[in-house]
Structure formats: C-alpha cells, structure tokens
Amino acid sequence: MCAVGAALSPISTEGEAALASGSGRPWRRGLVAALQVIGLVLLLGLWIRQADTSGIGALATPRAAGWLGLALVFYWVGQLLNGFAWRHLLQRAGGQVTLSEMVLHDLSSVFWCSVLPGGVAGELVKGLRLARGADPGTVAVSLLCARLVGGTVACGLALACLPASGFEGPLLGLGAAALSLTAGVGLGGLLALALGPSALPARLAARLPIGRFPAAASLLVAFALALVTHSVFALVYSACFAAAGLWMPFAAAAVVSALTSVAQLIPLTVGGMGIRELSISALAAVVVARPVADAGAVALAGVFTVFIALGGLVELGRALSRRR
C-alpha cells in the first residue's frame, strides 16, 4: 500500500502506459507476472477440480436471477460508497473530483487491480490520473488513508461479527488472529501517515508519501462510510449464496468477505483470483452446505467479473479517445 506515493511522480499518459505495461525492471516484472499467471491457472484448476458442482444448476433459475440482480445492485452501491470515502478525503485536502469522474476512476481501478500483479495497480493508476490536478503527495495520502480505513473497518466489522458467524474451534482463533493482524496493520499505517516521515525511521519514511493528512473530522466521515460500505459488500455475499439456494446470515457473510480479502493479499496470483474462489468455497462451507458454498463462489465470481468487464470498457474508451 505504501507504494502509492512512490508511483505518483510521473504524472502523464506515458506514466500510465508504463505502469500498465509493467516497464521498469521489465525482466523482474515479467517474471512475477508469469509466476502469478501460473499460480492463477493452478489454483483455479484446483478449485474447479475439488468443487461440488451439484449446486451450480440452481444459479440458472429465475429465482437465482433475482438474487444475482440484487447482488449486482449491492455491489454497485458499495462501490459508490467506497468512492465517496476517498473523494471526501481528497476534496477536504483541496482536490476536486466530480461524481462521474469518481465512478470512472473506481471502475478503472477494479479492472487494473484484477489484471495486473501487485493488488494495488488500480490505486496507482487512479493516483496518477488524480494527481494531474492536485498535489501528488496529498493525492497519495488521501487514497492511502481511504484504503487503510476501508481495510481496518472491514476487519473490525468481521471481528465484531465473528462470535455469531458460526465459526468455531481452531478456525475461530485463526480467523480472529488474521483479522486482528490486518486491522492492526491498517491502524499502524494511518498512524505512520499522521506522524509523517520526519517522525519515522529513515527506511520507512522513504516509502511514505509526503502530503496533507486528513483532519480528524474527515477521517471520521471516511470511517462511517467504510462501515456502511463493507456492510453492503457483506450483503453481496449473502445475496449470491441465496442465489445458490441459501441466504447466508449477515455475520457469516461479513466474516467470509473480510477473510477472503485478507487471503487475497497473498501475492500468488494476478488480482488474487483463484485464491479468492478457493477461500470463499472453503470458508462458506463452514456455515452452509458444500454444494451451496461452491455455487455461491461461482455466483460471486460472476458478479466480480461484471464490474471488471465494466472497468475494461472504461479503459477501452480511454484508449480509443487517446487515439482520436
């Protein structure tokens, strides 16, 4: 996440193209990309091989179509709320972003995060574009704060829901440890940004962007928006499992959603795909029947793909506009 600030110096179309193509130590980036593609193929193959496909037929019914439509609506609302959070922080720091620009930037971010290695490529592209009309360091700090706030809140919400989620035994302890650790990293990152480079060790300070840190009131708004955002994202999971045959209770959906996001931080595949599906299937199977868990993972993958495709269309439109 701290790489956001370092990526904001080449504020140009060429900088975006270089980022998208992976230039700069191309052999290393190429090797990482190749390994992650191999990991993606292997993990998706493993998921397909071990999946119980007996429940997938339920997704082809009119009832399932209604639930999947609701899941798409929930996802869109969550994306808007997430956009309002970073837009609020950036505007309070002096940057101006229209609502339509916010929507397009977030769709592009979903696309690049899914097709490029690293997991934060979408935020880098977003930062490059936003920094054209504002101080690059402040843009980086605003986007990074929004991301840290979102991750912290998602894990905090899941921790609060964990006792009622249906997880128990060693899995309950492991889930609590993973969520606590990730939330702690998020809070630590916010503290480091608040203190600024001058108060930190040189090695860490060199990795932090230098810009205006949000005021406490702005951060509170971002935390509130993040809480609603990740509550809505949990409902995406609930609706997709309902399409597969069984509504997943909110507490379990919040935990599965957050732990899946934590698992995707492991840089084994492009965009965390493969890891995401395996995690959803395995975690959901704790609280719902295995056929429903696997069919729900398929439904979620479909919902995510819709928004990845929309982001791809946005980027295609940008590319055609440049050519003209």
| pLDDT, tens digit, 9 for 90 and up, residues 168-194 | 999 899 999 999 999 999 999 999 888
pLDDT of residue 7: 32
Residue 14 has pLDDT above 60, yes or no: no
| pLDDT, tens digit, 9 for 90 and up, residues 181-235 | 999 999 999 998 888 877 778 777 777 788 888 999 999 999 999 999 999 999 9
| pLDDT, tens digit, 9 for 90 and up, residues 92-136 | 888 888 999 999 999 999 999 887 766 677 888 898 888 876 788
Residue 12 has pLDDT above 90, yes or no: no
| pLDDT, tens digit, 9 for 90 and up, residues 73-96 | 999 999 999 999 999 999 988 888
Give the Cβ contact number of residue 99 at 10 Å. Answer: 11
Q: How far apart are CA 61 and CA 150, in angstroms?
A: 35
Three-state SS annotation for 22-75: CCCCHHHHHHHHHHHHHHHHHHHHHHHHHCCHHHHHHHHCHHHHHHHHHHHHHH
Residue 272 has pLDDT above 80, yes or no: no
Among 16-25, 286-295, 313-322, name the one with the lowest average pLDDT. 16-25
Is the distance from CB of 236 to CB of 71 less than 8 angstroms?
yes
Is the distance from CB of 274 to CB of 44 less than 8 angstroms?
yes
